[in-house]
Amino acid sequence: MPFFIQTLVLPPQLRRELKAPLGKLIMGSPEEAMKKLEELIIKEKPSMIITVGDIVSENTAKHGISTHLAIVDNRVMRQPRKPIVLKTNQTIHVKNPPGIISDKAWIAIRKALKQEQATKIVVDGEEDLLTLVALLHAPLNSLVVYGQPHEGVVAVRVTRRKRQKARNIIEAMHPITKN
């Protein structure tokens, strides 16, 4: 079975590696970070914008940045929060426990990225690792944006090199076999 439809668990040694930003760290307050992100979007003209995380998804929406896909879990720093309202054409709900990339999350992200309409994926569990799935499946020149706690946001331009980095991390994860 290809790794991209298996449920995978993150081994402890990879946690440290994932603390480092996968792309350009845009530092500052939410207002400053969104202004810099807007400038980056104007300059790079990404083919698609994907956000991962409640705060970054909410802030991009507040600043009029259109996203093709927003992946949220109705939590901030692992604490529950009121669900954010986004202008999307569809909402998909998936289960994805912390430290895991579930097979259902893989399928939902791949489906959402193939569609024309704006989509919100609401995760029951944790969405952090789904950044890797987005990097792997988003079209080249897309921008995947996620929050870097207490620092700002990270903008990752999808290139072959970034896809390979995501693939390397994913391939180092351990499959969970279902009984």
Whether 142 is in a domain gets the answer yes
| 40 or 86, higher pLDDT | 40
At residue 179, does pLDDT exceed 70?
A: no
pLDDT in tens, 113-168: 999 999 999 999 999 999 999 999 999 999 999 999 889 999 999 999 999 999 99
DSSP symbols for 41-95: HHHH--S-EEEESHHHHHHHHHTT---SEEEE-SEETTEE-PPPP---SEEEEEE
| 18 or 46, higher pLDDT | 46
Q: CA-CA-CA-CA torsion for 19, 30, 110, 134, nearest 10 degrees?
A: -30
Number of domains in the chain: 1
Residue 178 in tokens: 């279902």
- Range of 69's domain? 3-26+44-174
Tell me which H or E stretch contains 28. Answer: none
At residue 107, does pLDDT exceed 70?
A: yes
| 155 or 76, higher pLDDT | 155
Whether 94 is in a domain gets the answer yes
Whether 32 is in a domain gets the answer no
The end-to-end CA distance of the chain, in Å, is: 15
**Rounded Cα gap, residues 71 and 134, in angstroms:** 10
Whether 34 is in a domain gets the answer no
At residue 1, does pLDDT exceed 50?
A: no
At residue 26, does pLDDT exceed 90?
A: yes
Whether 159 is in a domain gets the answer yes
**Rounded Cα gap, residues 158 and 13, in angstroms:** 25
Query: Can you give the pLDDT at residue 114?
Result: 95
Tell me which H or E stretch contains 116. Answer: none
Q: How far is CA 57 from the centre of its chain?
A: 10
